[in-house]
Structure 1
């Protein structure tokens, strides 16, 4: 604790307190005024006007023994433990003299502290001051983020009035209660007493929802997706062809090997489409590409032999314009139980390994790692092994999503969550002897959260 804070705390604990009656105006003065004030005293006054008003204090006369920085003899004005002014001296030329200017408190109360030492050799008379209630407290219209607005136009903003906040778009929701009341200090506060600031609350994207219209399951051996059915699916159409999953209005997840070597380059990702040649797609340029630090980087066009930690975050250079055809998928939670099935999607290889023009999807079953062949490559607990009846991820699907619950089974109570990221598999897509491998997203939640918060 600093010396100044300690002195203030000791002063608070030791002074005699005078609590003035609640009124619209009043006066206060040093002891014995206009006669000289006593030596060696500490006094404290609580000045209050009715809630909803602000209190205005005017120093009408000041004659306090001068001291360096007003340390030994002073009048101090405090609001909510914050020192507003501190006075000593005798006239308007003194550094600590109040002059003609009144003090307007942010709320309906003020505290005065008066201290004298044991000298007062010149018989100073102290101070006299008056206070009054002025216009009712007005919290004003709060400054809101670009995604947020008031629920009603031009609401009253004075003491005890209420405002309600909402997100401008239905594709966002408030992360906390949006109802605030104007308090006596001129602050908008929630029912828990939390102050409304620019960072509280926030509009967060609604994740894991799509346009559910009971579509009929991608991908090698898959079925064509309908527009809005997998709205988090992104496509990098140029080389390297691959997928990603939108997880917020700025960030996407993909496989590290898709972007390995492109960290210092700008990549264009497409979203809001099911046709890879659609000219009306949402185009997103990358601002940052962050590969997991434990991934074994090999650079451009080199053969990877270890796909552990095959995960990367992509930050877009501008906010993604969310809508019914482009929306984020939810991340899993640490407490989610292991799933036994999922849906994979992408614009990757189909028959004869030719990349699909259209977004395809299919159902896959998840198998224990010990039941899957790896072709000699390393398999770790950071991976998920999955495959289906003639359904498999293929070249060009890498980085795309495997999500749960199975497509057409999502709901507000059970939104779609990103279980895995298409990582690697056998050279022949759909080979029944092999399954595909996916990065287990659940193992990277802390890294994802920390990386997004720091970038």
Structure 2
């Protein structure tokens, strides 16, 4: 928004200021003052002196006037609240003047015209030297206020101030007075505010609220029709009433921009007799815009509308098109071109609806207006009159409809409903009995398609390529975009080999086709099969994978059979001393070599159960070498009863060593926790000479009852010489009371610890016992319930050889620790 304030007196802001004294002709006395120009004032300010003689009649005469001393009051061009002040003579008697001074006898003296003539040279010089200026609108916001000069203090005399309020186009100006106090007078002759808008006077106002004279604006709202409003304030040379100075405070007005509804017919543009928009007008805050009815286009003047049908394009498979304004008379001077462009393979059908009416002549064919139809450049016909063409099959997917009219006529035009029909493709035929065409239709046309699948157990094949799906689409030329595939039976890959087992084809002939069946079997009696719940039979599935009866694809596992030697020791045999073992009697027996010769027992197909002190002897302290290094140096031999043969068969390298955390190699009197596990790098193949021992049932404590017989085998010392052949001995378990009593009788000052994790076995009188080199071997017992041999103890320590009881680590107490390290399903 802009607001402009300019003083009533025009001139360049740098104009010279002239205050002068004038010669006045008064009765009996002359007042003479020399003419002299004043100095040029500062930029933006100019002053003028007005010598005014005021007279007051007293009786029959007029008092003489005193010499006039001119006082110049500046007029500010900016801002809007600035004012233009007239020069006023000091000390003059107060009197009203309407533009000139007059004598009592009525003769005009010192009129404005005379003064202008007296000073024309000076004014001309000022204009030539400084030039003439005009004030311009000053940008303002969408609202503001206007104050009389010095408001709220009384306004000055001889002041002319004006304001030009300009808001953006699309708005009008609304002005209201919040305070108004001007000198009242009839017709507001003296002081007043004058308002103009749209080249119209909106009134002249003065007075006070409730005054009998004047024209007080009150709460009236002044609203312009355009975006400008001019406010002008005038004050005369005095504000007196019977000699008393009245101090009027002036006025305070507020203005704001209000949206103009240009679409209101009452707000039509000043320079136009008709509406702002030819068709539809849309008002918005600050402006408006025009739009047209359907089928018309807004022109460059943004006001007028014209039919635009020179390039109408239709791409839908069906639709409607008509002459403009149908069924009302169509406009004149049309050059319409309606194009229908559909996909290849479609034939467009035109159906003319009623009424059909195009200007015609009885003798000449379509001389005025014409409707022409072309299909891919081929002329189908030219139509007019009142007879409808009916239905036209174009046999083309491209149609152009041309409609040409002259400058006159009142025919109602035409309307077409166009449709399209697709081209037909041949009926699809399967190549074999396994092919299935889904949702087979009686007729297939352009863009129709069919989907081919195969019966269960067969694959879609295109040449040698296996297809996941197949869809054929009818093309624009009436052919299918790809040829029919064939269905071939599903083939599974070769079955996965079973470690320590085999598979056999159940069906004949043996092949991997759909629904073929195989059965997995393990190498018995050394391995037993473990399935995932679906059994050992697997069938070739429709997906081309082998699955069991539960639909799972994971093959069974062959797990070692434990505690079932081919040539078990006869329980009735009485052994008075160590005896040489036969091959296959103790197939779990291992020969270890870490710190000298030791023994152990095979668990599963890759774990060796042994004594911890064979790895970390009590004398060593256990701190000299790491378990990883010991694993690299360890030797394990399996599968024979002769040491030389074992060495020939080769060592089974060790991957890791696990020692029970309770074992303390520094305490030579305490073998608690004397148990360890060796993990072999590679599983061993089980057979009659290599078979694992079982772990005991943790719920069965009868293995340790007094007198329960068991067997211990080993490659230990016999008669002070290392045995070169596996020996075994039959020993009874002894009650803890007997063991403790005997131990107390044999221990010296440093008694050996006999913990709950140990048991003892043997005879006090018969010299049957284990000795050095047997450590780590296991004490085995036949579990009568399962018929399997279980390891109930590990050879741990004793006092001498065959000199009493031997002490064993109680395996039953360590079953959970063992299973926590090795897999439970090993057993």
The TM tier, using the shorter chain, reads: 0.5 to 0.7
1:398 Cα shift? 0.7
1:233 Cα shift? 0.8
1:168 Cα shift? 5.1
1:180 Cα shift? 1.2
Q: Aligned to 1:329, what secondary structure does the other structure show?
A: coil
Instruction: Give the equivalent residue in structure 2 for 1:447.
Output: 817
1:53 aligns with 2:411: no
Specify whether residues 193 and 129 from structure 1 end up closer, same or farther in structure 2 by C-alpha distance, changes over 3 A only: farther
On the 8 A contact 1:284/1:318 being kept in 2, the answer is no
Q: Aligned to 1:442, what secondary structure does the other structure show?
A: helix
1:207 Cα shift? 1.9
1:49 Cα shift? 4.8
Q: Aligned to 1:403, what secondary structure does the other structure show?
A: strand
Structure 1 stretch 151-160 or stretch 392-401: which is displaced more? 151-160
Give a deviation string over 1:334-380, Cα, whole Å, max 9, x none: 334421321111122333x4433322212221223233134422233
Q: In structure 2, what is the Cα distance between the partners aligned to 1:333 and 1:47?
A: 61
On the 8 A contact 1:382/1:439 being kept in 2, the answer is yes
On the 8 A contact 2:454/2:487 being kept in 1, the answer is no
Q: Map 1:399-418 onto structure 2 (within 5 A).
A: 399-405=776-782, 414-418=787-791
Structure 1 stretch 379-388 or stretch 305-314: which is displaced more? 379-388
Instruction: Give the equivalent residue in structure 1 for 2:771.
Output: 394
1:402 Cα shift? 0.8
On the 8 A contact 1:25/1:132 being kept in 2, the answer is no
Q: Aligned to 1:384, what secondary structure does the other structure show?
A: strand
Instruction: Give the equivalent residue in structure 2 for 1:158.
Output: 513
Q: In structure 1, what is the Cα distance between the partners aligned to 2:574 and 2:490?
A: 60
Specify whether residues 333 and 193 from structure 1 end up closer, same or farther in structure 2 by C-alpha distance, changes over 3 A only: farther
Q: Aligned to 2:653, what secondary structure does the other structure show?
A: strand
Specify whether residues 393 and 129 from structure 1 end up closer, same or farther in structure 2 by C-alpha distance, changes over 3 A only: farther
1:203 Cα shift? 1.7
Give a deviation string over 1:402-435, Cα, whole Å, max 9, x none: 11119xxx89x51211111111222x22223xx2
1:440 Cα shift? 2.1
Q: In structure 1, what is the Cα distance between the partners aligned to 2:679 and 2:517?
A: 37
Specify whether residues 404 and 34 from structure 1 end up closer, same or farther in structure 2 by C-alpha distance, changes over 3 A only: farther
Q: Aligned to 1:273, what secondary structure does the other structure show?
A: coil
Q: In structure 1, what is the Cα distance between the partners aligned to 2:438 and 2:483?
A: 4
Specify whether residues 47 and 386 from structure 1 end up closer, same or farther in structure 2 by C-alpha distance, changes over 3 A only: farther
Q: In structure 2, what is the Cα distance between the partners aligned to 1:282 and 1:418?
A: 25
Q: In structure 2, what is the Cα distance between the partners aligned to 1:204 and 1:248?
A: 8
Q: In structure 2, what is the Cα distance between the partners aligned to 1:214 and 1:379?
A: 30
On the 8 A contact 2:594/2:614 being kept in 1, the answer is no
Q: In structure 2, what is the Cα distance between the partners aligned to 1:187 and 1:365?
A: 56
Instruction: Give the equivalent residue in structure 2 for 1:123.
Output: none
Over the aligned positions, Cα root-mean-square deviation in angstroms equals: 3.8
Q: Aligned to 2:717, what secondary structure does the other structure show?
A: coil
Larger Rg: 2
Q: In structure 2, what is the Cα distance between the partners aligned to 1:446 and 1:132?
A: 61
Q: In structure 2, what is the Cα distance between the partners aligned to 1:129 and 1:417?
A: 70
1:383 aligns with 2:758: yes
1:344 aligns with 2:700: no
Structure 1 stretch 313-322 or stretch 357-366: which is displaced more? 313-322
Q: In structure 2, what is the Cα distance between the partners aligned to 1:280 and 1:334?
A: 36
Instruction: Give the equivalent residue in structure 2 for 1:246.
Output: 602
1:209 Cα shift? 2.2
On the 8 A contact 2:435/2:452 being kept in 1, the answer is no
On the 8 A contact 2:516/2:540 being kept in 1, the answer is yes
Unmatched segments (≥5 aa) in structure 1? 1-22, 37-45, 58-100, 111-127
Give a deviation string over 1:166-202, Cα, whole Å, max 9, x none: 235753332234211222232322223322x3xx311
1:313 Cα shift? 0.9
TM score, norm. by length of structure 2: 0.37
Give a deviation string over 1:303-352, Cα, whole Å, max 9, x none: 6332222111112233324332222222223334421321111122333x
On the 8 A contact 2:438/2:453 being kept in 1, the answer is no
Q: In structure 1, what is the Cα distance between the partners aligned to 2:670 and 2:484?
A: 76
Give a deviation string over 1:126-177, Cα, whole Å, max 9, x none: xx99998832222221222443332259832222221012235753332234
Instruction: Give the equivalent residue in structure 2 for 1:437.
Output: 807
Q: Map 1:53-452 onto structure 2 (within 5 A).
A: 53-54=458-459, 103-104=467-468, 134-152=487-505, 155-167=510-522, 171-176=526-531, 177-195=535-553, 197=554, 200-212=555-567, 216=573, 221-236=577-592, 239-260=595-616, 263=627, 264-265=629-630, 266-278=633-645, 281-298=648-665, 304-339=668-703, 340-351=708-719, 353-373=720-740, 374=743, 375=747, 376-388=751-763, 389-405=766-782, 414-426=787-799, 428-432=800-804, 435-452=805-822
Give a deviation string over 1:266-312, Cα, whole Å, max 9, x none: 211222222334466533333234233423342xxx66332222111
On the 8 A contact 2:698/2:812 being kept in 1, the answer is yes
Specify whether residues 289 and 387 from structure 1 end up closer, same or farther in structure 2 by C-alpha distance, changes over 3 A only: farther
Q: In structure 2, what is the Cα distance between the partners aligned to 1:356 and 1:217?
A: 21
Q: In structure 1, what is the Cα distance between the partners aligned to 2:549 and 2:699?
A: 30
Instruction: Give the equivalent residue in structure 2 for 1:42.
Output: none
Unmatched segments (≥5 aa) in structure 2? 1-433, 471-480, 617-621
On the 8 A contact 1:149/1:165 being kept in 2, the answer is yes
Q: In structure 1, what is the Cα distance between the partners aligned to 2:809 and 2:484?
A: 68
On the 8 A contact 2:593/2:634 being kept in 1, the answer is no
Q: Which has the higher contact order (CA 8 A, sep 6+)?
A: 1
1:223 Cα shift? 1.5
On the 8 A contact 2:595/2:615 being kept in 1, the answer is no
Specify whether residues 34 and 296 from structure 1 end up closer, same or farther in structure 2 by C-alpha distance, changes over 3 A only: farther
Q: Aligned to 2:712, what secondary structure does the other structure show?
A: strand
Specify whether residues 132 and 283 from structure 1 end up closer, same or farther in structure 2 by C-alpha distance, changes over 3 A only: same
On the 8 A contact 1:289/1:314 being kept in 2, the answer is yes
Instruction: Give the equivalent residue in structure 2 for 1:90.
Output: none
Q: Aligned to 2:816, what secondary structure does the other structure show?
A: helix
On the 8 A contact 2:612/2:663 being kept in 1, the answer is no
Q: In structure 1, what is the Cα distance between the partners aligned to 2:661 and 2:755?
A: 13
On the 8 A contact 1:28/1:130 being kept in 2, the answer is no
1:238 Cα shift? 6.7
